[in-house]
Structure 1
């Protein structure tokens, strides 16, 4: 391995060490309480070193958000071996909910916090949020496949995908924010599954 390759590898390793330490501290203390200095101290780096990799906390949050959306996309990828489009769409909804319930802190980072999106806006790129778009495109793909098969009746796959995303996101947010306590504990998961199934039928047969 040459000097350039070794330096690049070391740079990548340091960046990942920073992200891993940040994620650990955020999980323990919450996003708002952790500073760039706290992260530097956790891995015995100087704060100046952290700023070589991330110009501010929002940039660091954006990097963690990108990782989280990549994980979500990988979860979505697992549904494409399901043959029927309606079952495939139901499965992608379940993957979304499972991810949210397993990683509530990442759900907060991905969909609630404004910091990462402020970093996106600051970049001002033509396609600034590739990781979020890649995950969403998996839902678009499922919708398009269903439309092509004559199963889903939507004028546009992207619009249909946004409607599906919003539906499942709402269920996840209601559960994580404990707004489903109007139902018994035994009923909550079941009623979410029934709601997704009903929504799936609306896409297939209309109201």
Structure 2
């Protein structure tokens, strides 16, 4: 009986926590993260401010929870994209396209991922959700690294790229910048006769040339 009660209490805690993250995510999507406050999250979730602080130490802690969702969504997209291709270089290209599509479909998730990637962990600051979100980020990069490794084995990716963990982050930076341009500079690009799809296609071609091995 006691285990049943404990299980129900945990379910209630998980549900309440999810409602808080849902509220914060809605505000993030509507207003941008800088405009979100713990007070506004409490109001949107129809909970007391004090109760929100029971579940989340502060706004940073809440951001880690949203970033974890964002990274998990991206991981699923990456796994699906990589599974549709056989050769390593094709997988990497598919991941790049998936990331660009993800950024346009979920701009608030894209922003959450970007903020997480720039985050520097602070020693001695006990934040379990921070570790969870950073582990989720690592899993995303592992998919890229594995696709590069497959490409090196099948000859479609250059074998002299060096540390694939570093290469994965370089590709992230390259693609991240493209998504930012696509989200914010569509108008200025159009003024000089460049469409976002044209920019994307050109960028993918450059990535292929940069990574291609003898069979690429």
2:177 aligned residue: 170
Q: Residue 117 of structure 1: SS of its match in structure 2?
A: coil
How far apart are residue 187 of structure 1 and its match? 2.6
Pairwise CA distance, 1:101: 0.7
List aligned pairs for 1:1-207, cutoff 5 A: 2-78=4-80, 79-112=82-115, 117=119, 120-121=121-122, 122-123=125-126, 128=131, 129-153=134-158, 154-178=161-185, 181-183=188-190, 187-205=195-213
- Encode CA deviations 1:16-69: one digit per residue, 9 max, x unaligned: 000001111222233222221221122221111111110001100111011101
Q: Normalising to structure 1: TM-score of the pair?
A: 0.87
**Count, aligned residues:** 203
Q: Deviations over 1:82-121 (max 9, x none)?
A: 112221111100000000011112212221479x936x43
Q: List structure 1 runs of 4+ shifted beyond 6 angstroms.
A: none
CA distance in 1, matches of 2:203, 2:34: 34
Structure-2 change in CA distance of 1:64 and 1:2 (3 Å): same
Distance 1:111 1:16 in 2: 22
Whole-angstrom distance in 2 between the partners of 1:158 and 1:43: 39
Change (3 A) 1:123 1:117: farther
What is the Cα deviation at residue 177 of structure 1?
Answer: 2.6
Q: Point out where structure 1 has 5 or more consecutive residues left out of the alignment.
A: none
Answer yes or no: is the 8 Å Cα contact 1:180–1:188 preserved in 2. no
Answer whether contact 1:101 1:176 (CA < 8 A) is retained. yes
In the alignment, the residues of structure 2 paired with residue 28 and residue 149 of structure 1 have an alpha-carbon distance, to the nearest angstrom, of: 45
Q: Distance in 2 between matches of 1:107 and 1:150?
A: 32
How far is 1:81 from its partner?
A: 3.2
Please give the TM-score of this superposition, normalised by the length of structure 2. Answer: 0.84
Change (3 A) 1:163 1:34: closer
RMSD of aligned residue pairs (Cα, Å) = 2.5
* 2:47 partner SS: coil
Q: SS in structure 2 opposite 1:155?
A: coil
